[in-house]
Structure 1
Amino acid sequence: MEKLYSHNIRDILKVELHRHLDCSVRWSTLVELAPQVGIPLASTSQARKEQFLITSPMKDLSSVLNKFLNAQKVLASEEILTRIAFEACEDAYNDGIRLLELRYAPTFIAEGHKNLTFEKIHKSLHKGIEMARKKYHMLIGLICIVQRVKPFAEAEKVVDFAIAHKDSFIALDLADNEEGFDPKVFAPLFQKAKKAGLRITVHSGEAPGPLSAQWVQDSIEILGAERIGHGIQIVHDPKVINFVQSRRIPLEICPISNYLTQSFKTYEDHPIRQLMNAGVLVTINSDDPGVFATTLSDDYEVLHRVHGFTKEDFHRCNQVAFDASFFPDVEKNRFMTDFFG
């Protein structure tokens, strides 16, 4: 196997479909802004990292989601949101990403920030993305997230907001811990969004559990998911593997994230190769690079080092991601030569 070094991996032109904008804040920006919004910083560098970042495995997905709340407090103004959106795109470009789908949850950012309406949040993020589009030759799209842990009435508001702004959202997503939140409840909302022209991706099959694989199938059959965020737990159910493979539903796989949330205990245990060998469509993503202190290239490095991924494997996954992107074909075709020409 050809040895790939960090600069070789960074130079690979990449497509990323699964990156949370609200958890992509640069570490330097986080440290700079926290005191300005009234968050006292810990006294040492290491303690600050422990305050905001997740760099070693946590107990489970729920523990990770709770840790995100520390970084969320920094997202306190329109100016900050514009800045973090621009910087997230800039960091992605510098990591070789040329087609980027960012997602965010209006309810997550608005929590505790009474001055930030959904409208203000969206306009601020969109402004930062437009700044990046003008500076960097890349496709950047936004996906709106419904938090499954919020009351149903909140989910309705978010879906209606996404539909009202379908000119600047390319898709709708359902996220947060699945345990105790059956995806079927949200079916009417996702059917409504799909009818309005939004594409559908759903976080499902991320954390281990007896129903995890079945939830993936439900998300596809009942919510109309065209892609699945994570989906890795289907590896335990051959029937669902066959279902996902036959439906040609791509998985948005995030290797480092899956390790940090302990979806699988070690990098070696990660089933990405097994899923690819079963004919499942696989894409590679970073999930929450700000809070995890990673880049997408770090995920590539893990796959190269642990699972023997070659440049050809990465190109194959990027081709799958390019084809599965929710951008209109007319926009993607303009970029075709950049990636695969």
Structure 2
Amino acid sequence: MARILDLPKVELHLHFEGAAPPAFIRGLAQEKKTDLSKIFRADGSYAYRDFVHFLSVYEAATSVLKGPEDFARLCTALMEESAKDGVVYSETFVSPDFCGGGDVGAWKEYLHAIREAAEAGEKTYGVTLRGIVTCIRHFGPDKAKAAARCAAETAGDWITGFGMGGDENMGEQGDFAYSFDMAAEAGLRLTTHAGEWRGPREVENAVTDLRGMERIGHGVRAIEDPRLCDILAEREITLEVCPGSNVFLGVYPSLDKHPIQQLRARGVKVTVSTDDPPFFHTTLRKEYERLAKTFRWGADIFQDLNRTALDAAFCDAATKEAIKKKLEPAP
């Protein structure tokens, strides 16, 4: 088991604010004299009832992130936690809605602070971080267009992708086609959350109604439609699977009922991530340990998952080559 847990890891599905350690948020709240006691349990962890309540707790926690310096501090905390898990490369979802309210000028200030912290963190922790701009689905298509403009204005070697998170039950994937097209025209690569709460049709809509989709966040409900699994496999669309998140939120009753092994067996490209780790009481090491015990996976399977993740990563070729060397087993 130690060999599996100590593997260098690649993570593709990590929400920036959702990775904020509870102690970090509590500390900021105290500094800003903001009462957030209702969002924490007695043991100090985040408290919520269900997915919709989780979203409101998430937004309450992010409310104390007031300026670029706070987000820079969060970036450092995130990278420190990733390093503990042996992560060598990570892509994190960052929303302009939380970083300047969708204003391009303000977003650039936030992004500058985050990127400086990421570059310093890479030297300190050995974690390479890249950003994927996300619009928030339940904020609506107009807000998404503002997020896409922010993404397009800052596309480059650090902001490498565009995606969508939020409440999957609000609106349709196609409602956001304009924003995804804008991002793609700026050279950004695309991912979107789908097939977590709604069924396989939602995954198919993401693939058919949004052009150029390369990855799907979650996507696990695709297993309910063999034809869709074949489409995903044929188009080599990678799923950013977050098993612990799916079980914690009740998408599946237990890990042994989770379809990650079935999806992989059908030829669908899958990866493993933590989603919002402190909210779901998980880490990437815990994900690996639980998967290894539940499905009797050996180190070779996890190494393959990491190679798949790196192949699907949105970074440039030079970065991929550098990370590939870190994934190679020690002689």
Normalised TM-score (structure 2)? 0.91
Residue 99 of structure 1 contacts residue 138 of structure 1 at CA under 8 Å; is this kept in 2? yes
Structure 2 distance, partners of 1:272, 1:151, is 31
Structure 1 distance, partners of 2:22, 2:298, is 30
Query: What letter corresponds to residue 160 of structure 1 in structure 2?
Result: R
CA RMSD of aligned residues (A): 2.2
Matches within 5 A, 1:10-29: 10-29=5-24
Residue 11 of structure 2 contacts residue 90 of structure 2 at CA under 8 Å; is this kept in 1? yes
Q: State the match for 1:265 in structure 2.
A: 253
Structure 2 distance, partners of 1:327, 1:242, is 27
Matches within 5 A, 1:130-209: 130-167=119-156, 168-207=158-197, 209=198
| Paired residue secondary structure (2:110) | helix
Among 195, 201, 209, the residue aligned to 1:222: 209
Q: State the match for 2:325 in structure 1.
A: 337
Deviation at 1:193, TM superposition (A): 1.4
Higher RCO by CA contacts (8 Å cutoff, separation 6 or greater): 1
Structure 1 distance, partners of 2:86, 2:107, is 31
1:275-297 residue CA offsets vs partner (Å, 9 max, x unmatched): 11111111000111132342111
Query: What letter corresponds to residue 319 of structure 1 in structure 2?
Result: R
Residue 274 of structure 2 contacts residue 287 of structure 2 at CA under 8 Å; is this kept in 1? yes
Aligned residues: 325
Among 83, 93, 98, the residue aligned to 1:93: 83
| Paired residue secondary structure (1:173) | strand
Query: What letter corresponds to residue 292 of structure 1 in structure 2?
Result: F
Matches within 5 A, 1:278-293: 278-293=266-281
1:7-31 residue CA offsets vs partner (Å, 9 max, x unmatched): 5444111000010111111233223
Q: State the match for 1:315 in structure 2.
A: 303
**1:66 is the counterpart of 2:59:** no
Gapped regions of structure 2 (runs ≥ 5): none
Residues 1:53 and 1:79: Cα distance change in structure 2 (over 3 Å): farther
Q: State the match for 2:68 in structure 1.
A: 78
Query: What letter corresponds to residue 293 of structure 2 in structure 1?
Result: R
Q: State the match for 1:276 in structure 2.
A: 264
Identity rate, percent: 27
| Paired residue secondary structure (1:102) | strand
1:56-84 residue CA offsets vs partner (Å, 9 max, x unmatched): xx54x323222212321231232221111
Residue 5 of structure 2 contacts residue 289 of structure 2 at CA under 8 Å; is this kept in 1? no
Deviation at 1:191, TM superposition (A): 1.6
Residue 205 of structure 1 contacts residue 216 of structure 1 at CA under 8 Å; is this kept in 2? yes
Q: State the match for 1:213 in structure 2.
A: 200
Query: What letter corresponds to residue 107 of structure 2 in structure 1?
Result: F
**1:238 is the counterpart of 2:226:** yes
Query: What letter corresponds to residue 261 of structure 1 in structure 2?
Result: L
Gapped regions of structure 1 (runs ≥ 5): none
Deviation at 1:136, TM superposition (A): 3.4
Normalised TM-score (structure 1)? 0.88
Among 259, 267, 286, the residue aligned to 1:298: 286
Deviation at 1:53, TM superposition (A): 4.5
Among 21, 31, 35, the residue aligned to 1:36: 31
